[in-house]
Structure 1
C-alpha cells in the first residue's frame, strides 16, 4: 500500500506495531530530531534488520517536510504526527519500540532504549528493569559519554552549571578534588557531590535545579560510551546537529563515534554559550530568554530546569522559539494561539513546543504572553 496521502493511524500498543511490521516488506522510519525518538528508530531498525525486512530511516526537523519518494509498505512516524504515516508513536516512544522489538523476537539489547528514555528525563521502568536484568549496573558519579571528566562536564547538556561550556573551568573545578588516574566509587561520589553543589549553589540556579540535576547523577554503565546517560546526551545532540550521523550511531555503526562526539561538543557549546549571552526577562508566571542564533529546544530545556524563576520558560531567537512548562500546564495551546496571531507555526516536540515565525521576537513574546 502506498504511504502517500493518508491520515496517520496510531498504534496504541507494541503488539499493534509488531503486527504491522511483520506484514510489511519495506518499512520507512521517520524520527523527529530528539534523542528519544532517534533511539527508538535505532531499536526498530535493528529489529527489522534481524528479521531481514528492508527499511529506510531518517530524522526530520520540526518544520521540515517529511515526505519522501520512497515507496514503503509501512511508514512509522516517531515523535511527531506524520501526515502520511501509517503509524505514529508520540508517547513512551523508546519504551514502545523496545517492547515492539521483543514482540518481534529480535535480539535486542536494552541499552539503546534505556538511553532513549533517559533522554526524555523520565526513565521508563520497564526498560530500566530489562537493563538491570541484562547486567547494566549503576555507579556513583556523573553521566558523561567520555572518560575525560572535564570534557564531559563542560559539554554535558544534562545539566547547566558554572563550568558548562568551559572545559578549562571544569578542569579547575575538578582539580580541587585531587583525583587519582583510576577513580574509585568514592571518587565518583565526590565528583557527583561537587557537581551537584556547583549546579544548585550558583547565583543563577533555580529552585528546580536540585531535582533536575539528579538526571545526570548515578549513571548506568555500559553501551558505546562511558555511561548510558552520556549516550543519551550524545543521541539528543547529534539528532539536532548531524542527523545523518545520528542515524548511523543509532544503527550501531562504531565508525561514527568520534563524529557523534564532535557534534555533541558543538551542540553543547552553542547551547551553553546562548544561555550565558541571553537577555532575560521575568513576567508573572513566565521567564523569557532571548538571544541570537541558538538551539532553542535544548536551551529551553536547560533554562527551564536550571535557570528559570517561573513555571513557564520561553526561549526566542530570530524566527524561532521554544517553550516548556514545569507545572504541567498546556503551553502548546498558548503557543498555537500566539503563532496563529502572528502568522507562524507551532509543533509539539516531546515535553516542549517549538514555533516558527516571521515577525520580530518582541511581537512573538507579546503574543505568547497574551495567549498564556
Structure 2
C-alpha cells in the first residue's frame, strides 16, 4: 500500500490501516523530512490511541514482523510506504484523514524545507506565519547561528571567530544587510546553483520554536542524522530544545570542517570528497553542502571506508553498480543516495565512477 499515486484514495486507505492496527512501527530514513513525517504520524497515532514505535536509519533494515502495520517513510520496505516530494507534508495529509487536530503545520513545513521544497499549500495556510528579512537560523545569536547552520556553506561556516570577522565589516547590520552579506559570501567561488540554494536560507518564516522555520528544519535534519531519539522527542513536542541545539551545533561544525579539510577529486561527472572515519549521517550533510556550494560537477559524492552519500541527478545507477560490486546496502530517493558497504574509499569511488 502506498501513500502516493492516487492521493485521496490512498490516504484514506493508509489512515484506515493505521487506526485499525493494534501496534504500528514507523521506520524512517535518517533525514529531517522523514523525522518530521514520523513525528506527524506518531502524533496522529497518539490521538487515535494506537501504540507505536518509531526509528530512523540511514539505510533502514527490512521491517520487523511484530507489528500489525509497518510504515516505511522515505524507503520501500513496509506495509505502508510514504513517498512524496515532501514526506512530512504527505504525512500531514494522511493524519488529517483520522486526527486533524494532531497535525502540527509548522512541523510539516519544516520537513518540506529539509526536502528542498518551498513551503506552500494547506500547511502554510494553517500555520499563518510571518516572514521577515534575514537568515534562517534556529537561535537568536547571529554569530553562533551562522557558524552552525547547514542551510548554506561559506568561508565562515563552522567557525564562530570567522563569522565575527565577517560581521565586523558591517556597522550594526540590520537583517537585510546580514542577508546580503551571507548571500554574497555563499556564492563566492561557488557553482551557479549556490545562488538558488542560498535563497532558501533567506527571508525566513518566523516561529516561536527555534526562531525560524528554516532553523527548525536545520535542527530536525541534524537530529535525524546524529540523535534520532532526541529528534523524535522534539517532533513529538517534548521540551528538548537545549539538547537539540547542542546536537545541531556539533553536527554543523563537523560537516563544514569535513568539507573544508577533506581530500577532494574532480572527475568527469562527479566531484568526490574523501573523508576518513565519517558516519553515514555526516556524509549525507557533506554531500548536500558540497553539491550546492562546492561541486563543479553535476554529482557530489562524499565517501569513507564503509559508507557513502551522493547528491545529484542520475545517482541511482552508479549506486546500484557499486552495491553489486561491493555488496552492502543502498538507498536512493530522487537525487539523493546513501550506501553502507564492506569496502574502501577507493573501491567504492572506482565502482561509482565506472557506472557513470
CA 1:355–1:72 in structure 2 vs 1: closer, same or farther (change >3 Å)? Answer: closer
Contact 2:315 2:335 (C-alpha < 8 Å) held by counterparts: no
TM (norm. structure 2) is 0.92
Query: Whole-Å Cα distance in 1 between the matches of residues 322 and 55 of structure 2?
Result: 30
TM-aligned CA deviation for residue 21 of structure 1 = 1.9
**Aligned-pair RMSD on alpha carbons?**
1.8
Aligned to 2:95: 101
Of 300, 303, 318 in structure 1, the residue corresponding to residue 287 of structure 2 is 300
Of 134, 137, 144 in structure 2, the residue corresponding to residue 141 of structure 1 is 134
Aligned to 1:171: 164
Query: Whole-Å Cα distance in 1 between the matches of residues 255 and 308 of structure 2?
Result: 14
TM-aligned CA deviation for residue 342 of structure 1 = 2.7
CA 1:349–1:223 in structure 2 vs 1: closer, same or farther (change >3 Å)? Answer: farther
CA 1:345–1:29 in structure 2 vs 1: closer, same or farther (change >3 Å)? Answer: closer
Of 68, 72, 87 in structure 2, the residue corresponding to residue 73 of structure 1 is 68
Query: Whole-Å Cα distance in 2 between the matches of residues 49 and 227 of structure 1?
Result: 27
Aligned to 1:10: 2
1:37 matched to 2:30 = no
Q: What's the secondary structure of 1:44's corresponding residue?
A: helix
Query: Whole-Å Cα distance in 1 between the matches of residues 52 and 100 of structure 2?
Result: 15
Question: Pairwise mapping of residues 127-276 of structure 1 onto structure 2 (< 5 A)?
Answer: 129-179=122-172, 187-201=174-188, 203=189, 205-254=190-239, 256-276=240-260
1:103-146 Cα distance to aligned partner (Å, 9 max, x none): 224212300000000011112532xx432443211111111000
1:216-259 Cα distance to aligned partner (Å, 9 max, x none): 111111142110100000000001111111110110001x1111
Query: Whole-Å Cα distance in 2 between the matches of residues 284 and 351 of structure 1?
Result: 18
CA 1:355–1:333 in structure 2 vs 1: closer, same or farther (change >3 Å)? Answer: same
CA 1:344–1:57 in structure 2 vs 1: closer, same or farther (change >3 Å)? Answer: closer
CA 1:193–1:166 in structure 2 vs 1: closer, same or farther (change >3 Å)? Answer: same
TM-aligned CA deviation for residue 57 of structure 1 = 1.7
1:6-57 Cα distance to aligned partner (Å, 9 max, x none): xxx3233322322222322322211111100100111111122222222222
> How many positions carry a matched residue from both structures?
346
Q: What's the secondary structure of 1:57's corresponding residue?
A: strand
Contact 2:106 2:127 (C-alpha < 8 Å) held by counterparts: no
Query: Whole-Å Cα distance in 2 between the matches of residues 10 and 32 of structure 1?
Result: 16
TM (norm. structure 1) is 0.88
1:118 matched to 2:99 = no
1:320 matched to 2:307 = yes
Query: Whole-Å Cα distance in 1 between the matches of residues 322 and 152 of structure 2?
Result: 29
Of 248, 260, 273 in structure 2, the residue corresponding to residue 289 of structure 1 is 273
Query: Which stretch shifts more, 150-159 or 310-319?
Result: 310-319
CA 1:38–1:297 in structure 2 vs 1: closer, same or farther (change >3 Å)? Answer: same
TM-aligned CA deviation for residue 211 of structure 1 = 0.9
Contact 1:278 1:289 (C-alpha < 8 Å) held by counterparts: yes
CA 1:137–1:342 in structure 2 vs 1: closer, same or farther (change >3 Å)? Answer: same
Extract unaligned runs of 5+ from structure 1. Answer: 1-8, 181-186
Q: What's the secondary structure of 1:138's corresponding residue?
A: coil
CA 1:269–1:134 in structure 2 vs 1: closer, same or farther (change >3 Å)? Answer: closer
Q: What's the secondary structure of 2:91's corresponding residue?
A: helix
